[in-house]
A = this chain, B = another copy of it.
Amino acid sequence: MISAPFPQGSNAERSRMTNRQAVLGHIKSQGAMGRAQLARALGLSTQAISNIIAELTAEGLLVETGTQVSGRGLPAVQYGVNPKGGYALGVEVRPAAVFTALLDLSGEPVITRRRALDDPTPSAVLGIVGTMRDAMLAKTGVDPGLLMGAGVVMPGPFGQTGLAGHSADLPGWQTVAPEVLFETALGLPIELSNDANAAAMAERIGGVARAVHSYAYLYFGTGLGLGLVSAGQLVTGAFGNAGEIGHIPVTTKTGPAPLESCLSRVSVQAHLAASGRHAPDVAALDALHRAGDAALRDWIAEAAAALGQALHIIENLFDPQTVILGGAMPAALLDDLIAATTPPAGSVSARDDNPLPRLMRGASGRMTATIGAASLILNRAYSPRAAAL
């Protein structure tokens, strides 16, 4: 996931590859369309598009979805993405559990699984993941040959950094390259990422950002993560650890504090515990929220203040089309948090010619990052640049 320092050259075969991806990606984000329209959008001849579509339909990635009459002329034969044309495996490894998901080509989860983890060492995890994959394939009857790859989310940051505690979460993984381990164990192409980046890509592939090319994603995981997407691609930084927003300071009623201390699952739980409440998981939080709990309302108000400050920084530094909130939180709670947040006025995003809201809610719940992991693989089929790196 480290950005390639130097670009590769291009030849006829690589051109075909990028054109295939451009066709698929355009249809994915814009919906089914005909050859001529694709040709205009991509700056290619209709004949070239015809050849590519013939190839993609033969492989089952595209399907005819009918014809579209628009004024004079021959009606255009429409082609759309065939959801059953390919699948991606998503794997999320946490200290105490492994989550897996199988996504179809359209980005829809076909099946998801959770397995408790007693032994988080590489060999045990790889064995469990292999078993879970086989079980999911068997249960759904998906042809293993249609698996395009596996996205893997693990606790970051990766490599050595100044942020302590994280990489120690999974014992035995420090000395090895997880990508290589998973690739040999699963026999599939691997994308390795942190939870926030994966969740951000989930929105682009199967969520609210399907037609958005530049956005930021605030992910509620253990802490708070930021995923940045620019021109449809993740901005991962030089060493793959971009988006560590949790430790940046915000001002609170009691002085400066790390953003994560006001805006994260841990902070909700701490706040509730101070009032004698207990909400260990998403479902419990949701129940408390539906009951209109006062302490939770309190937390939302304080979190909204912190979110406003984070929004200020994110917007002024990136100028995204929108900022999406998601992760392991109840959807309704995120909606309330967004409603309670006043977007900062002194921001480049305080414009009125942007059709998108400045804050949106994306996918939420336990599986967000797992689905995102699989989305990283799907993104390679849809984006010429992702494959080039």
B-binding residues in A (CB < 8 A)? 3-12, 14-15, 18-19, 22-23, 25-26, 29, 41-44, 48, 157, 159-163, 213-215, 226, 228, 230-232, 235-245, 247-249, 251, 256, 309, 312-313, 316-321, 344-354, 383-385, 389
Contacts of A22 in B (CB 8 A): 6-9
Contacts of A42 in B (CB 8 A): 6-9
The count of identical subunits is: 2
In the complex, are the beta carbons of B318 and A237 less than 8 A apart? yes
Shortest Cβ distance from A185 into chain B, in angstroms? 27
In the complex, are the beta carbons of B239 and A348 less than 8 A apart? yes
In the complex, are the beta carbons of B317 and A236 less than 8 A apart? no
In the complex, are the beta carbons of B226 and A48 less than 8 A apart? no
A347 with B162: in contact, given A245-B316, A318-B237 (CB under 8 Å)?
yes
Residue among A15, A319, A383 having the largest count of chain B Cβ atoms under 10 Å: A319
In the complex, are the beta carbons of B247 and A256 less than 8 A apart? no
In the complex, are the beta carbons of A244 and B43 less than 8 A apart? no
In the complex, are the beta carbons of A349 and B161 less than 8 A apart? yes
In the complex, are the beta carbons of B162 and A349 less than 8 A apart? yes
Nearest B-chain residue to A156, judged by Cβ = B348
A239 with B351: in contact, given A213-B3, A346-B247, A385-B7 (CB under 8 Å)?
yes
Shortest Cβ distance from A387 into chain B, in angstroms? 11
In the complex, are the beta carbons of B346 and A160 less than 8 A apart? no
Q: List 15 A-B contacts (CB under 8 A).
A: A7-B42, A8-B42, A8-B43, A9-B19, A10-B10, A10-B19, A11-B44, A159-B351, A162-B344, A214-B237, A235-B318, A239-B319, A243-B319, A245-B316, A249-B309
In the complex, are the beta carbons of A12 and B9 less than 8 A apart? no
Q: Which of B12, B48, B213, B352 contacts A238 (CB 8 A)?
A: B213
Nearest B-chain residue to A319, judged by Cβ = B237
Complex Cα distance, B10 from A347, in Å, reads 38
Q: Which of B15, B214, B215 contacts A15 (CB 8 A)?
A: B15
Contacts of A237 in B (CB 8 A): 214, 230, 318-320, 348
Complex Cα distance, B230 from A26, in Å, reads 24
In the complex, are the beta carbons of B348 and A163 less than 8 A apart? yes
Complex Cα distance, B62 from A310, in Å, reads 48
Complex Cα distance, B48 from A48, in Å, reads 24
In the complex, are the beta carbons of B316 and A244 less than 8 A apart? yes
Shortest Cβ distance from A14 into chain B, in angstroms? 8
Q: Which of B7, B26, B43 contacts A384 (CB 8 A)?
A: B7
Contacts of A25 in B (CB 8 A): 6-7
Complex Cα distance, B346 from A160, in Å, reads 12
Contacts of A249 in B (CB 8 A): 251, 309, 312
Nearest B-chain residue to A29, judged by Cβ = B6
Nearest B-chain residue to A38, judged by Cβ = B9
In the complex, are the beta carbons of A321 and B238 less than 8 A apart? yes
A248 with B313: in contact, given A10-B18, A12-B15 (CB under 8 Å)?
yes
Complex Cα distance, B43 from A64, in Å, reads 36
Complex Cα distance, B213 from A96, in Å, reads 38
Nearest B-chain residue to A313, judged by Cβ = B248
Q: Which of B15, B235, B309, B345 contacts A230 (CB 8 A)?
A: B235
